[in-house]
């Protein structure tokens, strides 16, 4: 049985791997978890001993099979709970992340099975993020980040890759939500911002925001 802290570290490593880091660095984990690099080193040693990661001092860390399985399961629980909170308890999409951070650590396989069934086996969470299967796979989707999308195309927002309150409330203000149709014009070289229009209203989206918008071309 793993502690909350161990589970959070495994989830952080998974998240950084998905974002593209092959060998995840100590510092990026520290940033992700708002803790010190020293604490990360301590915990990596411990996870290494528990045989959940492949860790080479000064080089970086990756999840091994068992570590990945645990991390994906936490992610599954996180997203199922978020779905429950929005679909059943009427929370808004920008209010659920912090509570899900707690609920994801509840230990009961039967609970999650029944929650999944109660929600009619959802495929996506309230942020459009894909929910991993009970078997531990993360279904692949054909979404592209707005920060990397081709210029002069049309698309539809299918999700966000970040579920922090401040980000989601900013999207609310920009009138960007799941299902919003957008036209993509061009990307500015200088700051990597993107010019788009929503309902024929032109606007400029910063790279910081564009990096977290999942778009499907149409």
**Interaction site with a copy of itself (CB under 8 A):** 85, 88-91, 95, 98-99, 102-103, 106-108, 110-111, 114-115, 118
101 is an interface residue for Mn ion by CB under 5 A: yes
User: Is there a contact between 164 and 197 (Cβ–Cβ < 8 Å)?
Assistant: no
C-alpha span between 168 and 177 (Å, rounded)? 9
Residue the block writes with tokens 């920009």:
174
Report in angstroms the alpha-carbon separations of 41 from 44, 78, 182: 5, 25, 43
Q: Among 68, 76, 127, 143, which residue sits at the site for Mn ion (rule: CB under 5 A)?
A: 127
**Residue 95 makes contact with Mn ion by CB under 5 A:** no
Nearer to DNA, 74 or 130 (CB): 74
Q: How far, in Å, CA of 144 to CA of 208, rounded? A: 15
Selection from Mn ion, DNA, a copy of itself, none that 95 binds (CB < 5 to 8 A by kind) is: a copy of itself
Q: Is the dihedral of CA 136, 141, 144, 145 positive or negative?
A: negative
Question: Which of 91/185 has CB closer to a copy of itself?
Answer: 91
Between 50 and 175, CB nearer to DNA: 50
In terms of CB distance, is 115 or 196 closer to a copy of itself? 115
Strands (E) located in 49-152:
53-56, 60-63, 144-145
Q: Which residues within the stretch 160-189 sit at the binding site for Mn ion (CB under 5 A)?
A: 163
Work out whether 128 is an interface residue with DNA (CB under 7 A).
no
Q: Are 208 and 146 in contact (CB under 8 A)?
A: no
**What's the token pair of residue 32?**
């992700």
Nearer to DNA, 37 or 138 (CB): 37
Helix (H, G, I), strand (E, B) or coil at 214: strand
What is d(CA 147, CA 215) in angstroms, rounded to the nearest whole number? Answer: 10
Q: Binding of DNA at residue 216 (CB under 7 A)?
A: no
For position 77 contacting Mn ion by CB under 5 A, the verdict is no
Q: Which does 215 bind (CB under 5 to 8 A by kind): Mn ion, a copy of itself, DNA, none?
A: none
Contact residues: DNA, CB under 7 A: 3-6, 8, 25-28, 35-46, 55, 57-60
């Amino acid at each position: 049985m793993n502690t909350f802290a161990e589970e959070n570290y495994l989830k952080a490593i998974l998240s950084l791997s998905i974002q593209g880091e092959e060998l995840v660095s100590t510092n990026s984990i520290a940033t992700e978890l708002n803790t010190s690099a020293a604490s990360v080193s301590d915990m990596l040693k411990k996870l290494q001993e528990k045989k959940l990661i492949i860790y080479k001092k000064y080089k970086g860390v990756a999840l091994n099979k068992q570590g990945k399985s645990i991390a994906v399961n936490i992610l599954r629980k996180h997203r199922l709970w978020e779905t429950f909170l929005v679909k059943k308890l009427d929370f808004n999409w920008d209010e659920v992340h912090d509570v899900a951070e707690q609920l994801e650590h509840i230990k009961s396989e039967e609970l999650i099975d029944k929650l999944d069934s109660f929600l009619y086996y959802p495929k996506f969470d309230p942020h459009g993020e894909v929910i991993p299967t009970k078997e531990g796979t993360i279904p692949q989707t054909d979404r592209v980040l707005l920060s990397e999308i081709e210029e002069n195309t049309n698309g539809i927002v299918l999700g966000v890759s970040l579920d922090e309150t401040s980000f989601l409330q900013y999207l609310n203000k920009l009138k960007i939500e799941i299902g919003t149709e957008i036209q993509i014009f061009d990307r500015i070289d200088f700051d990597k911002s993107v010019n788009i229009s929503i309902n024929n209203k032109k606007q400029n989206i910063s790279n910081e925001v564009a990096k977290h918008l999942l778009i499907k071309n149409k």
